[in-house]
């Protein structure tokens, strides 16, 4: 048994990953692989809670997501990488947890309250959507994870998980540790239009974009909105391209650009070209790994199968304890 603390996190396969996901989550996960016993999984059942009318795309997204993960540097030799639906024990634990979870806990879940009013084009008044955090709780406590690296939006779900774990232990005896949220710092990367980077806003740079696509997208980025003409002075403090420079260009470069921009000595076109070049260069190792795995779909399948088998072995042990605790089977 390894003495490392165990962490677990997951993503819903709802589309290709972009730079926001890379800086908001993936890079963080990659950096935790040596320090922790890591479980990372693709929550395809969770994707069904909102996409149940169009489930067809999910399988394709699962494979692409694993390729994105591997490209970003998640390593199947270090971490257990798996797919939720390949570990059906999650459904059984979800069922047991749903028996003991009071409905008001779910009804007052902030993400539930927000989405039920915000998302108008789908009928989300389903049992599964309300129960989303119960399935998430099953995902987490199945592996007795100590920590859950997530963005701030997911903290209420980890809180519900702790409450459910506590209630299970109270009713049936100590089986589960209470996991803690490990807050990942939110990505400063905005989309091309300065809104939050999101696939649905059509403003994202994807990990799968080619250098040409990246260049084209960068050329379309909104800069300092006050700067209309090349001769106008600009303000890097409010410019999203400048934020990208701070991530992808070296300090010397962006420290030089700062006064040039303010004195209209550099134009946005040129400034963007420099940034795009550095961004593309920074993405090179990722793009190389992506090409490698893209060319080996069988290897990706194998990685998913082996990881899910490893996860299943752990899940099987937990479920034996759970059934014994509930005295449903001996
Ligand atoms: N709800 C998470 C999200 O939308 C995905 C998820 C499902 C998850 N199960 C999880 C995250 C367990 C952490 C742990 O991002
Ligand atoms: Fe932004 Fe660069 Fe244009 Fe200045 S020159 S506004 S930093 S893109």
Q: What angle do CA 53, 20, 252 make, to 5 degrees?
A: 165
Task: Write down the mean pLDDT value for the chain.
Answer: 96
**pLDDT interval class at 103 (50, 70, 90):** very high
- 173 sits in the region (left: phi over 0; alpha: psi -120 to 50; else beta) called left
Q: Is the pLDDT of residue 241 over 90?
A: yes
Which ligand has the minimum distance to the alpha carbon of residue 258?
Answer: 2
pLDDT of residue 276: 98
List of residues 6+ apart from 6 with CB closer than 8 A: 36, 37, 38, 39, 143, 144, 145, 146, 147
Which ligand has the minimum distance to the alpha carbon of residue 241?
Answer: 2
Ligand 1 atom 14: residue of nearest CA: 9
pLDDT of residue 177: 98
- With the most atoms of ligand 1 within 8 angstroms of its CB, the residue from 15, 43, 90, 132 to mutate is 43
Ligand 2 within 6 A of 261 CB? yes
Ligand 2 within 6 A of 268 CB? yes
**pLDDT interval class at 189 (50, 70, 90):** confident
Q: Is the pLDDT of residue 329 over 80?
A: no
Q: Where are the domains of the chain?
A: 6-189+297-325, 209-290
CA 264 to centroid of ligand 2, rounded, Å: 9
CATH number belonging to domain 209-290: 1.10.240.10
6-189+297-325 CATH fold: Rossmann fold (3.40.50)
Q: Is the pLDDT of residue 330 over 70?
A: no
The Cα 127–Cα 49 span in angstroms is: 9
Ligand 2 atom 4: residue of nearest CA: 261
CA 12 to centroid of ligand 1, rounded, Å: 7
Per-residue pLDDT tens digits for 244-253: 999 999 999 9
As a whole-number percent, the residues of the chain with pLDDT over 90 amount to: 90
pLDDT of residue 1: 55
Which ligand has the minimum distance to the alpha carbon of residue 160?
Answer: 1
- pTM, two decimals, is 0.95
The HSE-up count of residue 309 (CA atoms within 13 Å, CB side) is 7
The answer to whether 202 and 174 are in contact (CB under 8 A) is no
Q: Is the pLDDT of residue 325 over 60?
A: yes
């Amino acid at each position: 048994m390894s003495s490392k603390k165990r962490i677990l996190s997951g993503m819903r396969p709802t589309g290709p990953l972009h730079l926001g996901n890379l800086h908001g989550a993936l890079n963080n996960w990659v950096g935790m692989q040596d320090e922790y016993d890591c479980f990372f999984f693709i929550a395809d059942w969770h994707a069904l809670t909102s996409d149940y009318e169009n489930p067809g795309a999910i399988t394709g997204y699962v494979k692409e997501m694993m390729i994105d993960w591997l490209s970003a540097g998640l390593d199947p030799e270090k971490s257990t990488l798996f797919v939720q639906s390949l570990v059906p024990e999650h459904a059984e634990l979800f069922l047991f947890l749903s028996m003991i979870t009071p409905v008001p806990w779910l009804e007052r879940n902030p993400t539930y309250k927000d989405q039920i009013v915000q998302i108008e084009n789908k009928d989300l008044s389903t049992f599964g959507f309300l129960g989303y955090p119960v399935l998430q709780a099953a995902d987490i406590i199945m592996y007795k994870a100590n920590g859950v690296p997530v963005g701030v939006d997911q903290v209420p779900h980890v809180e519900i998980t702790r409450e459910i774990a506590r209630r299970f232990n109270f009713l049936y005896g100590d089986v589960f540790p209470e996991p803690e949220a490990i807050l990942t710092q939110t990505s400063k990367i905005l989309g091309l239009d300065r809104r939050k980077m999101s696939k649905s806003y059509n403003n994202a740079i994807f990990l799968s974009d080619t250098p040409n696509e990246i260049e084209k997208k960068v050329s379309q980025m909104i800069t300092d909105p006050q700067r209309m003409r090349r001769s106008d002075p600009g303000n890097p403090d409010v410019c999203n391209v400048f934020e990208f420079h701070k991530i992808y260009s070296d300090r010397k470069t962006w420290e030089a650009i700062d006064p040039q921009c303010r004195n209209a000595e550099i134009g946005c076109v040129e400034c963007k070209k420099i940034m795009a070049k550095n961004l593309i260069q920074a993405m090179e190792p990722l793009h190389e790994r992506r090409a490698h795995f893209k060319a080996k779909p069988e290897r990706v399948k194998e990685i998913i199968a082996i990881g899910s088998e490893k996860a299943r072995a752990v899940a099987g042990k937990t479920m034996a304890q759970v059934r014994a605790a509930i005295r449903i089977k001996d």
